[in-house]
Homo-oligomer: A and B are copies of this chain.
Amino acid sequence: MGLSHTLEQVGERHVIHEIVAAAPSALNGDDAAVLYPAAPNSRTVASTDMMVEGRHFRRDWSTAAEVGQKAIVRNFADIEAMGARPTAALLAIAAPGDTPVGYVRGIAQGIAERCALYNAELVGGDLTRSDSLVINVTAMGSLGGSGAPLTLDKARAGQTLVAHGKIGYSAAGLALLERFGRALPQELEDLWPLVDAHCAPTLTPGRGVIARATGSTAMTDNSDGLVRDMGLMAQRSSVNIDLDPAAIAPDALLVSAGAVLDVDPWEWVLSGGEDHTLLATTYKAAPSGFREIGQVQRGTGVTVGGEAPRFTGGWESFA
């Protein structure tokens, strides 16, 4: 049966076969997956995240592989943000009966591609029918050694705030898609990295472990918006986080996109989420792959160069 057949034409077992063929694992195929500890002295870290078609992705904006890639990156960023190493993922898909088998296979391929970069595997899942396409990924990871995980409540006055990854790119890419769809005019083709950052963000695997190994104490990722996510860390840690305006200023691509769309690119930087950039605090120099973007101080809330942020919005599921 070809991949242009639909789920209801081929049935559940064949679709599961396609998923497992695209993302194979020896741990898959029983009632539950048994994960062997990566090291004798380690803890399991787990996080879950649901993506709904039309809300988190659109089939006309993202390829199936990009949807799978995004699902993995947003989940594994939460594992990395604890200072842990992603090791496994579980995939649950609810899909309409007329969904092409090839689309589901493409999602699994995107998942497998990104999992491979992390040395992780898709170890189990579930498939069911629904009116709209819903993708749930649960990520698991391994926190080695006896040291503490990097939690939101461990930022301390005197530390530096460091970042790994782009900030504002995903929101700018979404704004471009909302204006042009995938038909980005040829003269704007330099802006494709912004669209790519929205459809399938990329982080360098392992940066979370490096941050923990080199003395970071608090970490999270930029999922709801820089000011909002830093605001949560500031609140939990009872500190002020002051962002350095020179370090987070929109780069040439964001400025260019802002000019095209007549949007202040600072809004994307301060309010745009879904970059999944790692944001950590440390008393030491920025770990490899990270750059300094601010300071942790006594006080409360988030400031930019000592001033109130000009944009404070962010992702709200029921706005």
In the complex, per-residue mask of A28-39: 1 if CB is within 8 Å of any chain B CB, else 0: 011111111100
Quick one: which of B45, B55, B94 contacts A128, CB cutoff 8 A? B55
Looking at the complex, which of A83-91, A252-260, A295-303 is the stretch in contact with chain B?
Answer: A83-91
Q: Do the beta carbons of B31 and A92 come within 8 Å of each other?
A: no
Contacts of A44 in B (CB 8 A): 34-35, 37, 44, 140
Contacts of A78 in B (CB 8 A): 31-32
For chain A, the bracket of interface size reads 35 or more
Given A129-B55, A130-B55, A136–B30 Cβ distance below 8 Å?
no
Within 8 A of B (CB), among A6-65: 7-8, 10-12, 15, 29-37, 43-52, 55-56
A220 touches B (CB below 8 Å): yes
In the complex, per-residue mask of A219-262: 1 if CB is within 8 Å of any chain B CB, else 0: 11100000000000000000000000000000000000000000
In the complex, per-residue mask of A279-319: 1 if CB is within 8 Å of any chain B CB, else 0: 00000000000000000000000000000000000001111
The smallest beta-carbon distance between A284 and chain B, in angstroms, is 21
A124 touches B (CB below 8 Å): yes
Given contacts A31-B47, A33-B47, A126-B136, 18 further A-B contacts (CB under 8 A): A11-B318, A12-B317, A31-B77, A31-B82, A31-B219, A32-B141, A33-B46, A34-B44, A34-B45, A34-B149, A36-B43, A37-B44, A44-B44, A48-B125, A49-B126, A50-B128, A55-B130, A56-B128
